[in-house]
Chains A and B, each alone.
Chain A
Amino acid sequence: MIKGNFIDNLPKVYGIYTGGFLAFIIIMAIGEQMGMSAKAIGIAFVAFTVAIYAIIGYLSRTAQADAYYVAGRQVPTVFNGMATAADWMSGASFVAMAGGIYFKGYGYMALLVGWTGGYVLVASLLAPYLRKFGCYTVPDFIGTRYGGNLSRFLAVVVLTVASFTYVTAQINATGTIASVALDIPFQYAVYVGLVSILLCSMLGGMRGVTWTQVAQYIVLIIAYLLPVFWISNKMGAGFFPHFMLADEVARIADLEAQFGLGTVKNSAADLATVPKGLAGITKAHSAVNATPWAFISLALAMMMGTASLPHVMMRYFTTPSVKAARKSVGWSLFFIFLLYSSAPMLATLSKLSLIDPNLATGIIGKSISEVQAIDWYQNWNQANLMFVSDFNGNGTLELNEFFMGGKAVVLATPEIAGLPYVISGLVAAGGMAAAMSTADGLILAIANALSHDLYYKIIDPKAETAKRLVVARVLLVVIGFAGATIAAMEIQGILGSVIWAFDFAMSGLFFPLVLGVWWKRANREGAIAGMALGLASGMGYLIWVRNGGSGFLGITQLTFGIFGSAVSLVSMVVVSLITSEPDAATQKMVDEVRVPSGKSILGKQH
């Protein structure tokens, strides 16, 4: 299937796959009508999709280094765009983003701008040049451009810190979904999630991950868009929600004023009775509720972080040419745009359906006992994602007396709007696809850096291909289990740790990567200082703020990368200038990286 003219047949293969998946949804819908239980539908969705990914992973097995590390550099632009979109959109994007917008409004939407704007930096500053370089991993570029084992090693360190922070959150998300869909305890579900993840990447490396990520993108985008369009039509809000929800957005603003948002405050004693993790609506839905700097600093940190995260960058090493790498960034962002532009629409529909007294589903203004008798309220209250309490004792539910978990916006809205259960099963499969695809990309990025850069380039440069690939696979499993073990302890929230990963990456890698291409004078000593001091100062700032430090310039624990990368830039420039300039061979190498034609710097197999 993968051999021969597989690449030429891609549109056909994935066309059949998409048709098959849609047919599966219809069969499940018919099954539901015929009395199939909700639990059986949930299990069928998750099991069916994961089994398909595993089959793709098996068919993509390989013993070639360039297929294992960079999918043989033959992934066409549009398909690489889909794979990158799946790689990029994590469990957090899928499950938590609409919830974040629902609760925090404008201030949170800085993440939408940041997580898309970063791709402009990827396309213009880095991806085409790193593709020309011909590296297998991001530290491969750093190590060859600047020379020396120390620079390579530091790049591996930054990559590992950033990616590992990120991956525990993703394994956690696969565990959460597997535990709900398969009805097993979270501690075991985490390992079910892990095994599914490893099935995709172990045999085929980057090649296996690429073709499963394309399949996962198709599942996750159908699972996200179908409910949004369906709910919008069912509510009569508009056939095409993205262009037609202006009235609904205005209506929410009216209701917020009517219900006294921001003026009625809950006492601390009342709030203490609300279960942990749930929140009420306290911020305006569409109005500007953050200072310009709070918005801009968060967006900027996410943009620079995007351009420094190795698991995204390495996707552009798989395209056939430099030209294709550039175009592929555009396609990636297009596919990401489809989901990101829908998240605010879902948040709007979800909020309106809950708070508008004119809608049948609206609960604000109803009596507390009436709300507590609703089926879906009972379900989600049991799942610890919804809570109401009559603080003022008037028997009626007020806006400030309704609490919900962020995940409920994606997970519960279909049920609240009265969609059939088959949609909830679909959403579970979509969330699983989103979390698995990102986890695969991250685990592979770490394992490849450790096996290629640390083991092969530094420890044992004479190792044969077969041995290298065994080491790579062993590391993949070890890192996966380490991530799952930490995820099973449930120490951090999904979103917080995702944002930290961006800050770590930008602190240590943004300027060493960008200046490596755009500033010929940048040398080894400068890069070492930039990576080491950038990461150390970013991490120091985070620890300081976490331990009660006041911070400065409005830089918070979510944007500490701005401080880290500033230190990185200054130290890299200063140290480069006071030490001698790179030798002629390095300067010539930079010249060659800057033009698309000609041979890549590193050979096809290296």
Chain B
Amino acid sequence: MSKQAQHWEKTRGLLIVTLAIWFVFSIGIFLFGAEMESVGGPFGYPLTYWFTCQGSLGIFVILIFWFANRQEKIDEEFGFSEKGDD
């Protein structure tokens, strides 16, 4: 397999992992909104409420930075990263 094909395979793998995490916290958990309601969440908020106003939002922020770092590593591994800028 060519270098480029390997790079794309890894990139696609990272995409699938990223979208899976995204799916869980944007859609998956809200299938159980009513069930989670009686569970206590961080800072004493009801868990469903916490996820909708802080939890999922914060997880998305972290997820994007994590994704960006992983993708950079993949690009570097195959020598496809850009040089000399931020």
Contacts and interface: CB of A to CB of B under 8 A. Distances in A.
Interface of A: 76-77, 106, 109-110, 112-114, 116-117, 119-121, 123-125, 128, 242-247, 249-250, 286-288, 290, 292, 295-296, 299-300, 303, 320-324, 326-327, 329-330, 333-334, 337, 340-341, 343-345, 591, 594-597
A292 B68 contact: no
28 contacts: A76-B86, A106-B33, A110-B52, A112-B57, A116-B56, A117-B26, A117-B60, A119-B64, A124-B15, A124-B67, A249-B45, A249-B46, A250-B44, A288-B33, A288-B37, A292-B32, A296-B30, A300-B26, A303-B26, A320-B85, A323-B81, A324-B85, A344-B49, A594-B8, A594-B11, A596-B75, A596-B81, A597-B83
Interface of B: 4, 7-8, 11, 14-15, 18-19, 22, 25-27, 30-34, 37, 43-46, 48-49, 52-54, 56-58, 60-61, 63-65, 67-68, 71-72, 75, 78-83, 85-86
A54 to B, nearest CB: 30
Nearest to A114: B26
Contact of B61 (A334, A345, A596): A334
A247 B46 CA distance: 11
Given A113-B57, A595-B80, A597-B80, A333 B7 contact: no
Contacts of B86: 76-77, 320-321, 323-324
Nearest 5 interchain pairs by C-beta:
A246-B44, A344-B53, A117-B26, A109-B52, A326-B68
A287 B65 CA distance: 32
Contacts of B71: 128, 326
A242 B45 CA distance: 10
Given A112-B52, A244-B43, A287-B37, A333 B61 contact: yes
Contacts of A128: 71
Contacts of A290: 33
A496 B19 CA distance: 29
A299 B44 CA distance: 25
- Best-surrounded residue of B26, B33, B83 (most CB of chain A within 10 A): B26
A119 to B, nearest CB: 6
Given A288-B37, A597-B80, A333 B27 contact: no
B49 A341 contact: no
A85 B77 CA distance: 32
In this complex, the member of A117, A125, A591 whose beta carbon has the largest number of chain B beta carbons within 10 angstroms is A117
A292 B33 contact: yes
B27 A300 contact: yes
Nearest to B52: A109
B27 A296 contact: yes
Contact of A340 (B48, B49, B57): B57
Nearest to A328: B68
The residue among B45, B53, B86 with the most chain A CB atoms within 10 A of its own CB is B53
A295 B34 CA distance: 12
A160 to B, nearest CB: 29
Given A321-B82, A321-B86, A326-B71, A120 B63 contact: yes
B85 to A, nearest CB: 5
Describe A's contact surface by its main secondary structure: helix
Given A299-B26, A341-B53, A597-B81, A333 B33 contact: no
A123 B64 contact: yes
B60 A116 contact: yes
A440 B6 CA distance: 42
Contacts of B49: 106, 249, 286, 344
A597 B75 contact: yes
A120 B33 contact: no
Contact of B53 (A109, A117, A320): A109
A321 B80 CA distance: 13
Nearest to A595: B80
Contacts of B56: 113, 116-117
A303 to B, nearest CB: 6
Given A123-B68, A341-B58, A595-B80, 17 more contacts: A116-B57, A117-B22, A120-B63, A124-B19, A242-B43, A249-B49, A286-B49, A292-B34, A296-B31, A321-B86, A323-B72, A323-B81, A329-B64, A337-B60, A344-B53, A596-B81, A596-B82
A288 B48 contact: yes
Contacts of A340: 57
B52 A120 contact: no
B17 to A, nearest CB: 10
Contacts of A288: 33-34, 37, 48
Nearest to A597: B80
A128 B68 CA distance: 10
Contact of A243 (B7, B15, B43, B75): B43
A299 B29 CA distance: 12
A123 B83 CA distance: 21
Given A249-B45, A292-B33, A597-B80, A113 B26 contact: yes
Contacts of A327: 65, 68
A117 B24 CA distance: 11
Contacts of B31: 292, 296
Contacts of B64: 119-120, 123, 326, 329-330, 333
Contacts of B32: 292
A119 B52 CA distance: 16
B75 A247 contact: no
A127 to B, nearest CB: 10
Contacts of B83: 597
A113 B86 CA distance: 30
Contacts of B60: 116-117, 119-120, 333, 337
A242 B32 CA distance: 24
Contact of A246 (B19, B33, B43): B43
A246 B42 CA distance: 9
A221 to B, nearest CB: 15
Nearest to A101: B53
Contact of A337 (B45, B57, B72): B57
B59 to A, nearest CB: 9
Contacts of A330: 61, 64-65, 68
Contacts of A334: 61
Contacts of A326: 64, 67-68, 71-72
